[in-house]
Structure 1
Amino acid sequence: MAFRQQVLSLTEEVICPICLDFFTDPVILECGHNFCRSCITQSWEKQEINSCPECRQEFPDRSLTENRALANLIEKARTLNLNPQEKESKHHCEEHQEELKLFCETDKKLICVICRDSREHREHRFIPVKEAVGFYKERVKSSLDSLTEKISAALEMEREQKQKISQIQEESSSLQTHIKSEFTKMHQMLTEKEQSLLRDLREQEENILKAMEQNLCEIQKNLNSLQQKLSNLEKPLEQTDGVIFLKEEASRKRRISDDDCVPSLTDGTISTETVCSLFPFLVWKEMQEATHPGKAQISSSFGLIYIV
C-alpha cells in the first residue's frame, strides 16, 4: 500500500496539469509551476494573457525556462511503466482499501462501495465517478465561460475608461495651451498699456513742473529784490545824524510801494481720471478686443466655455 502511494505521488509530479499526460519538454514559470512547452504556449495564445493556469499570476513577457531536473524525473517514471491515464483508477479508500468508484453528492466526496452501505452515507445520493467528473466538468466549463465573458467585459470597460482618461488629458492639455496663449497676449497688451500710461504721466509731469519751476524762478527773483530793498532800508536806520538822514531820504529815489508786482503761485494737477476710474474698465475692454475680437466658444468634456 505504501509503495502504491509513492507511485501515485511520483505520477502526480510528472503529469502536466493541462494535457494530463507526461510532461513533454517541461518548462518552469517564474511562479514555480511546470507545464509542457507546447501546452503553456497554446494556452497563452488562446487567452492572449501571459498568466499561469495554476495560480493565475501574470507575467510581462513569455519567458520559459527549461526544467531539466523534471525532464530527468519523467524519464525515470517512464521506466516504471506508469500510465498517467490510470492515475484516477488507482485511488483507493483509506479505510477499506477499495477503489473509489462512487461520488457522494450529499457529502461531495469520493467513496467506495463499502462506504456507500455504511450508516454514514445512508440515504445519500451517489453517482459513478466518471459520470460525476463529466457533470462537474460541465459546471466548471459553464463557470469558466461566464468568467471569461466577465473578464472580456471588464477588459472592454478598462479600454474605454483608459480612452476617456486619455481624452480628458488631451482636452486639458489643449485648454492649458489656449489659456497660456491668451494670457501671453494679455500680458503683452498690459505691458504696452503700462508703458503708454507711464509716458503720458511723464509728459504731464514735465509740462506741469516746467511752468512751476519758471514761476519759482520769478518768485526767487522777487524775493531777492525784496531782500535787497529791505537791506537798503535798514542802513538809513543806522544813521544817528538826523540832518544827514533827511538829506539822504530826500535824494532816495526808490520807495517801497504796495504797487510792487508780487508773483502768484502756479498750480498744477496730474490727471488721475484715466488711471483711477476709467483705467480698469478701459484696459479690460482693450484686453477683450485684443484677445477676442468676437465671441469664442471652446467645446470640451468640461462643458462649453464662452469667452466674450
Structure 2
Amino acid sequence: MASSRGPALNEELQCSICLEEFTDPVTTPCGHNFCRTCLSKCWTNTQTCFCPLCKDTFSKRPDLKINTTLREVVQHFKEKLNLGESEVFCDICDGRKQKAVKTCLTCPSSYCESHLEPHLRVPRLKKHKLINPVENLEDYICQKHERPLELFCRDDQTCVCLSCTEGEHRTHNTVPIEEESREKKVKRYKHNTLNTP
C-alpha cells in the first residue's frame, strides 16, 4: 500500500496534529496547514493562539478560512489512491464478503462493521491493536514472534514487536512507532524550512 502512495506527497497532505489526511484544511497566518477541528481543539481553553508547528504566537485568534485548493488536492489524492487500491474484505463473513472497516493486528484478521463489534464491546478485545484495513498484513506483524510491530528500534532503524525488546533489542533505544513518525515529520519540516531560500 505504501508503495502506491507517493510518500512525499502523502506526508504533505497530512495534518501534523492528527497525522491523517487533511479534513477541511485551514492555513495559519504563518503559513502552516491543519485540519480545522484539530486546530480548534488546540486553541480551546487557551488565552494565546499559536501555531502548533512553529510556535508563532498570534495577538488575536485568526479568522481561519478553509483552504479550498488544498482540500481539493487532498480529495483528488484520496480518489486516485482508492482507484489504485484493491478492497480488503472481512475474513469472518460467510458467503458474500463485506468490505472490512478495520484490521486487528492481534488476531490477525480483517473485520466488517458487524464482525468488528466484539472488539468494541468485549473488554479483553478492546485492548487489541486495530488499524485501517490492510491487505499486506504480514508487513505489520513480526515474522519472528507473530506479534504486532508496535515499536521502532532507533539503534537498528527497524520496526520491532514487544517480544523483540526482550531479546536481541533488549538494550536498544526503542520508542512507539507513532512517536518516531511524529519526530521524523518535525525533523523533515525543520530541514525543509532551513533549506528553503
Q: TM (normalized to structure 1)?
A: 0.30
Q: Which has the higher strand share?
A: 2
Q: TM (normalized to structure 2)?
A: 0.44
Flag the structure with more relative contact order, 1 or 2, with Cα contacts below 8 A and sequence separation at least 6: 2
